[in-house]
Amino acid sequence: MEFRQQPEVRMRGPLMDPRDPGLLFEDTSAGGNRHKPSGVGKGPDVCPGQALLSDPMSNLALVYGSSLASHGKEMMDKNLDRFIPISKLKYYFAVDTVYVSKKLGLLVFPYMHDNWEVNYQQDTPVAPRFDINAPDLYIPVMGFITYILVAGLALGTQNRFSPEILGIQASSALVWLIIEVLAVLLSLYLVAVNTDLTTIDLVAFSGYKYVGMFLGVLAGLLFGRTGYYLSLLWCCVSIFVFTIRTMRLKILSEAAAEGRLVRGAKNQLRMYLTMAIAAAQPVFMYWLTFHLVR
């Protein structure tokens, strides 16, 4: 059928990003795409459509309707892409299990890792599944959700739970995240640092502390206040070291990042900025969890 071919071809277009070095995601849709062109512009199925298609007017209406629908979808995709860069977001979610497990281990125990540089490939960072140092958004999002759930659990054990509490916790943590990202952006602008840190990178780095937060609350649930304090202390120190080692390479100049002592007001200021960003993480971790553990 002529008109069925068109929506298929158009929809495969935006998925295959031509400038993407090695495909971000494995193409598991090879078999499935032939059978069902997804959703838009489908029109009625073959069997009842036979009767309709014999009428030329409804045939025309069908073709027009399907082309209009696919055109509308294209336009919406294009406009949405202007506000929320969907293709860039896809990069941050291109993870696999090995990467996630290694990164979680790195978040809790960053002391043995030597090489913190992000590998690049033709001026764009390599996808997270190939490079453990690249930032991703999967762990922060999952950590955030887990933190909300564990907070609900903790409040439930103290008989302080109600369904609105979950929403309040979620929006409160989200607001603090936004405030922190805005503060870091402002301070990066004021110090006039030329980095390639995008806003989404900063969201990713600020989101890594949710892992430590929910580990602390979980330990507090299982082992009481001492467990909470001990695990929170451990996670705070690890996130502090992790953030310093990651941010140092991005913010400081190359010479200072390699460990050679470079004097000068500019580098000192940048070092203070890195320390401040790293020190804000444990503060937030404590601030957002201490009211959950009694």
Partner 1 sequence: MAFTLYALIQTAILFTNAIAVLHEERFLSKIGWGAEQGIGGFGDEPGIKAQLLNLIRSVRTVMRVPLIAVNSVCIVLLLLFG
Applying CB under 8 A, which residues contact partner 1?
168, 171-172, 174-176, 178-179, 189-192, 266, 291
What is the spatial distance between Cα 41 and Cα 6, in angstroms, rounded to a whole number? 9
Please, which residue, 51 or 178, has the CB nearer to partner 1? 178
Torsion of CA 280, 283, 285, 288, to 10 degrees: -120
What is the spatial distance between Cα 286 and Cα 236, in angstroms, rounded to a whole number? 9
- Tell the smallest beta-carbon distance from residue 201 to partner 1 (Å): 21
Please, which residue, 172 or 226, has the CB nearer to partner 1? 172
Please, which residue, 156 or 264, has the CB nearer to partner 1? 264
Please, which residue, 98 or 190, has the CB nearer to partner 1? 190
CB 20 within 8 A of CB 88: no
- Tell the smallest beta-carbon distance from residue 140 to partner 1 (Å): 18
Please, which residue, 66 or 274, has the CB nearer to partner 1? 274
Please, which residue, 31 or 163, has the CB nearer to partner 1? 163
Residue 65's identity, in one-letter code, is G
Please, which residue, 177 or 219, has the CB nearer to partner 1? 177
CB 26 within 8 A of CB 89: no
Q: ∠145-281-125 over CA atoms, to 5°?
A: 75
- Tell the smallest beta-carbon distance from residue 269 to partner 1 (Å): 8
- Tell the smallest beta-carbon distance from residue 191 to partner 1 (Å): 7
- Tell the smallest beta-carbon distance from residue 91 to partner 1 (Å): 27
Q: Residue 25: name the closest of 16, 12, 14, 34 by CA.
A: 16
- Tell the smallest beta-carbon distance from residue 165 to partner 1 (Å): 9
- Tell the smallest beta-carbon distance from residue 13 to partner 1 (Å): 35
Torsion of CA 232, 182, 279, 98, to 10 degrees: 60
